[in-house]
């Protein structure tokens, strides 16, 4: 069965390297012995420690929900430079695998068995020291992996088949798999490999768990939003009439990386002038002009969790009275939605509150039509490991949920667009701005931009 299983997921290529706990780094001439992994894993750029208690609690919670059965979750694969057009890192972990392990290790498998004697088994490829000269250190199936993962049973991947078969026999329940569009060859996996078994999709259960963030996830999101705020400050300080959008983008993303971001959470949007009215503009090739507004929608990813922050500012550092009036309406609309955020409220209710506020306070700013007619997208989306994270939008808010509040007004005829987006944590009594580090009022933005250093 293993040959079919691995073929279905394209897990092992003929020349594939074994899995790693860490991001790619410059390899040592000779891989160090496994006994020094503790020190190596703590070096900058070599991955982050696993909150073993948190991920163990997540695994237990999943098994309690399914009651009986076996869960099998694959790790992601290294992308191929020659085929996949890698623009940043050539590896990012599968979110479902990461949620239950926090390991940045490739081509691994996690097996969980529910029932009277629940267990977790981690499968890792054997180390290949010669290959590690090219790939850097890899994590193998040994006592070091046990210690770093917090999983007491770690086995080589070639033992997956018999262990899986035994687990299914003992569990006497369904086999749960993460079936989603990111699963490679999903149809083959379901129809050929396990055609005779009771196979169910574990993603709906996992997605519902991911909707409420635990303390470790919230800490990661705080770090990501802090880094993102520093990036937006750098973008404002780099903006000047005549600057190219990509120059502002470069300053933004340099600040992300300088402050520890793993990567951008999504392609950065830097739209000036008429480009401010295109929601997902990310070409970033226009030269700014005096009097333009600039919309920067960008978030840093840290520890597999991403921020999503948007700021709008004048490229010359001063809002015109027209720009300020539109901006202040968008900002007040955002505040109205935030003030109504509390447990029990739904995203749909917040969306209505925001639109009602904008409609009631538009006056003649947008002509005969209310400005909410130019608010052409939804108010919010969930946030977490994905920028549009998983979860049912009909779910009432609970403490620990994280989502965006992002009203906007887009007036193409004027080449004038304003969007303000912040990341919000639901608390027991209300909500908290996570992304408050980035200046947001017109006074704060103008003050920051007035202190920009002059160009050499």
Domain ranges of the chain: 2-210, 215-450
Of 13-22, 279-288, 380-389, the one with minimum mean pLDDT is 13-22
- Assign 27 a pLDDT band (cuts: 50, 70, 90): very low
Task: Judge whether residue 72 has pLDDT over 60.
Answer: yes
Q: Sheet with 309-314: list strands edge to edge.
A: 269-272, 293-298, 309-314
Statement: 215-450 belongs to CATH 3.90.230.10:
yes
- Assign 194 a pLDDT band (cuts: 50, 70, 90): low
Q: How far is CA 61 from CA 100, 209, 259, 392, in A?
A: 10, 9, 34, 19
- Assign 47 a pLDDT band (cuts: 50, 70, 90): low
213-232, pLDDT tens digit by residue? Answer: 999 999 999 999 999 999 99
Strands 422-426 and 416-419: what pairing? unpaired
| Pair 416, 322: CB distance under 8 Å | yes
List the Cα angle 380/386/391 in 5-degree steps: 60
Which of 92, 59, 72, 79 lies closest to 6 in space, CA to CA? Answer: 72
CATH of domain 2-210: 3.40.350.10
| Pair 237, 248: CB distance under 8 Å | no
Structure-token pair, residue 374: 């130019």
Q: What percent of the chain has pLDDT over 90?
A: 70
Task: Judge whether residue 41 has pLDDT over 70.
Answer: no
Q: How far is CA 291 from CA 78, 285, 334, 415, in A?
A: 45, 18, 25, 11
Q: Identify the pLDDT of residue 133.
A: 83
| Pair 307, 300: CB distance under 8 Å | yes
Helix (H, G, I), strand (E, B) or coil at 339: helix
Mean pLDDT, the chain, whole residue set? 86
The model's pTM is 0.87
Of 161-165, 287-291, 303-307, 317-321, the one with minimum mean pLDDT is 161-165
Cα dihedral sign for 304, 151, 134, 83?
negative
């Amino acid at each position: 069965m293993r040959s079919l299983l691995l073929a279905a997921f394209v897990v092992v290529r003929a020349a594939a390297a074994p899995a790693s706990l860490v991001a790619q780094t410059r390899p040592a001439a000779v891989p160090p012995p496994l006994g020094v992994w503790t020190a190596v894993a703590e070096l900058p750029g070599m991955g982050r420690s696993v909150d073993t208690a948190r991920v163990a609690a997540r695994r237990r919670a999943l098994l309690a929900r399914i009651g009986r059965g076996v869960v099998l979750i694959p790790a992601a694969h290294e992308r191929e430079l020659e085929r996949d057009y890698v623009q940043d890192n050539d590896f990012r972990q599968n979110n479902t695998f990461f949620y239950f392990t926090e390991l940045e290790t490739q081509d691994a498998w996690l097996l969980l068995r529910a029932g009277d004697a629940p267990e977790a088994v981690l499968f890792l490829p054997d180390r290949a020291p010669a290959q590690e000269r090219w790939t850097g250190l890899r994590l193998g199936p040994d006592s070091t992996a046990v210690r770093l993962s917090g999983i007491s049973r770690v086995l080589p991947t070639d033992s997956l088949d018999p262990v899986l078969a035994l687990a299914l026999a003992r569990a006497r329940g369904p086999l749960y798999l993460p079936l989603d569009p990111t699963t490679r060859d999903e149809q083959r996996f379901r129809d050929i490999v396990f055609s005779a078994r009771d196979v169910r999709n574990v993603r709906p259960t996992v997605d519902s768990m991911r909707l409420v963030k635990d303390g470790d996830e919230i800490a990661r999101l705080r770090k990501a939003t802090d880094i993102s705020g520093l990036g937006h400050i750098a973008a404002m300080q780099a903006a000047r009439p005549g600057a190219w959008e990509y120059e502002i983008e470069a300053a933004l993303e340099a600040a992300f990386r300088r402050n520890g971001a793993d990567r951008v959470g999504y392609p950065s949007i830097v739209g000036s002038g008429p480009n401010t009215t295109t929601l997902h503009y990310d070409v970033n090739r226009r030269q700014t002009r005096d009097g333009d507004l600039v919309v920067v929608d960008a978030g840093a990813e840290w520890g597999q969790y991403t921020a999503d922050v948007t700021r709008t500012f004048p490229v010359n550092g001063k809002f015109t009275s027209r720009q300020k009036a539109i901006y202040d309406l968008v900002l007040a609309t955002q505040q109205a939605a935030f003030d109504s955020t509390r447990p029990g409220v739904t995203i749909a209710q917040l969306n209505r509150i925001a639109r009602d506020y904008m409609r009631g306070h538009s006056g003649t700013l947008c002509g005969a039509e209310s400005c909410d007619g130019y608010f052409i997208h939804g108010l919010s989306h969930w946030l977490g490991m994905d920028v549009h994270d998983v979860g049912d939008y009909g779910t009432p808010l609970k403490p620990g949920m994280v989502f965006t509040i992002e009203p906007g007004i887009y007036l193409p005829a004027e080449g004038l667009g304003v969007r303000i987006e912040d990341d919000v944590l639901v608390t027991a009594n209300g909500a908290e701005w996570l992304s408050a580090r980035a200046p947001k009022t017109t006074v704060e933005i103008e003050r920051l931009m007035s202190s920009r250093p002059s160009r050499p």
